[in-house]
Amino acid sequence: METQSHTAWYDAAEELLNNLGSQFSKRAFDFDSNCRFVQNNYDDLKEARFFSLAIPVELGGGGLTYTELCQITQQLAQHCGSTALAFAMHSHPVALNVFKANRNDERAIATLKKIASGELIIAGTGANDWLQSSGTAQAVAGGYVINAHKRFVSGGPGAQVLVSSVNHQTSEGAEVIHFSLPMSSEGIRIRDNWKTLGMRGTGSNDVILENVFLPETAIVARRPAGVWHPIWDAILPNAMPLITSCYFGMAEKAFHLATEACQGKPALATLLGSLHNELTVARLAVDDMVRSHDNYSFTPDRNLTNAILTRKTIANQAIRNVVDQAAVLVGGSGFFQGSDLERIIRDVRAMHFHPLPEHKQQAFSGRLLQGLDPVCELTQ
């Protein structure tokens, strides 16, 4: 993902990341082995104003292009995958608001100004809720009382804002209400239950919402439950290139480790060349996702969404191949706990769970090519 020129803030952010990266790398083992949220890294990133990098300068942010934001995420992942993924999960709702702000959405503009002024951090549950969403909403004066149990809320312990949705039954059927609330709202609590195979530092704990008041003013969108809505054609092209960039950054790190291990071993040249080919496949898929986004200039469309999801699957397959082949080339040292490669081997497995998992993407694409409604497959 290379560009001919960069914004001034990108060069500054890259220099800051180079300075912070060594600390992040040193801390990664502790966060991983103890399933502890990467709070120290979040503190450093917040002080350096990384969480507003994507917001236009005139709204108080760093003014990075979307392409540059993906590049920064990729570089961050080479130091700590958990930090990069949590950062990406904050950054993609910010990117969605930049996309809207570029189309003169006044609410998005106000949201971005607020995020930049307070360097606010977002945690969200969009993909896990998907088409149906979960939880309940009961209408009361001025809004709703909501109850829900949300899972995979990445970055929750370090966030000030929760972006989620809840199912609401109306006389005309079920609708999904999308909202944004302060994480400190009465009735919201974070469980300490993120004990996983990989990505252990993301703090993707369950979040419980118990009798939480949702004011009407906090609602950002409504849509029918269980059916495709054009909102996804804006969300997914903003989310998936960023998220995939995180995993690609880890694949690049694995490739570098394998290349170092192969120096002075001519017999491994063919295997290293094969590894390079797999990395190139991953790079091409990720680069094309970012190109399709066109720095917020894309037009939301189901065919574009399909292209993004297809490339996510291709990238996922190639990234796992890179990491698995790198483990063969590095050998036994990469099998020990505390090795960067051992952590990467586990962390990249999480990519499967981002939308869409491979089998659902294939069904979605296949049904779309057949002229059928692809959405029914997503509700199974």
Q: Which of 224, 253, 273 is the last residue of a domain?
A: 224
Which residue among 224, 246, 270 closes a domain?
224
Q: Does residue 115 sit in the same domain as residue 130? A: no
Q: Which of 65, 96, 120 is the last residue of a domain?
A: 120
What does each of the 380 residues of the chain score in pLDDT, given as a tens digit?
444 468 888 988 899 898 999 999 999 999 999 999 999 999 999 999 999 999 999 999 999 999 999 999 999 999 999 999 999 999 999 999 999 999 999 999 999 999 999 999 999 986 778 888 999 999 999 999 999 999 999 999 999 999 999 999 998 899 999 999 999 999 999 999 999 999 999 999 999 999 999 999 999 999 999 889 999 999 999 999 999 999 999 999 999 999 999 999 999 999 999 999 999 999 999 999 999 999 999 999 999 999 999 999 999 999 999 999 999 999 999 999 999 999 999 999 999 999 999 999 999 999 999 999 887 656 54
Domain membership of residue 2 (yes or no) is no
Residue 365 dihedral angles phi and psi, to the nearest 5°: -65, -45
Residues 202 and 334 in one domain: no
Here the tokens at position 84 are 């990069």
End-to-end CA distance of the chain: 36
Q: Look at residue 102 and tell me if it is in a domain.
A: yes
Residues 265 and 368 in one domain: yes
Segments forming the whole domain that contains residue 88: 8-120
Number of compact structural domains in the chain: 3
Biggest CA–CA distance in the chain, Å, is: 74
Shared domain check, 369 and 274: yes
CA distances from 132 to 138, 316, 367 (A): 17, 25, 20
Which residues touch 252 (CB under 8 Å, ≥6 apart)? Answer: 74, 78, 279
In terms of domains, do 207 and 263 share one? Answer: no
CATH for 188: 2.40.110.10
CB 319 within 8 A of CB 250: yes
Domain annotation covers residue 368? yes
CATH number of the domain within which 116 lies: 1.10.540.10
Same domain flag for 196 and 239: no
Structure tokens at 372: 């059928």
| CA-based nearest residue to 69, from 288, 290, 349, 227 | 290
For residue 3, being part of any structural domain is answered with no
SS3 per-residue string spanning the chain: CCCCCCCHHHHHHHHHHHHHHHHHHHHHHHHHHCCCCCHHHHHHHHHCCHHHCCCCHHHCCCCCCHHHHHHHHHHHHCCCHHHHHHHHHHHHHHHHHHHHHCCCCHHHHHHHHHHHHHCCCEEECHHHHCCCCCCEEEEECCEEEEEEEECCCCCHHHCCEEEEEEEEEECCEEEEEEEEEECCCCCEEECCCCCCCCCCCCCCCCEEEEEEEEEHHHEEEEEECCCCCCHHHHHHHHHHHHHHHHHHHHHHHHHHHHHHHHCCCHHHHHHHHHHHHHHHHHHHHHHHHHHHHCCCCCCCCHHHHHHHHHHHHHHHHHHHHHHHHHHHHHCHHHHCCCCHHHHHHHHHHHHHHCCCCHHHHHHHHHHHHCCCCCHHHHCC
Q: Same domain, yes or no, for 154 and 94?
A: no
Count CA atoms within 13 Å of residue 342 on its CB side.
13
Q: What is the pLDDT of residue 130?
A: 82
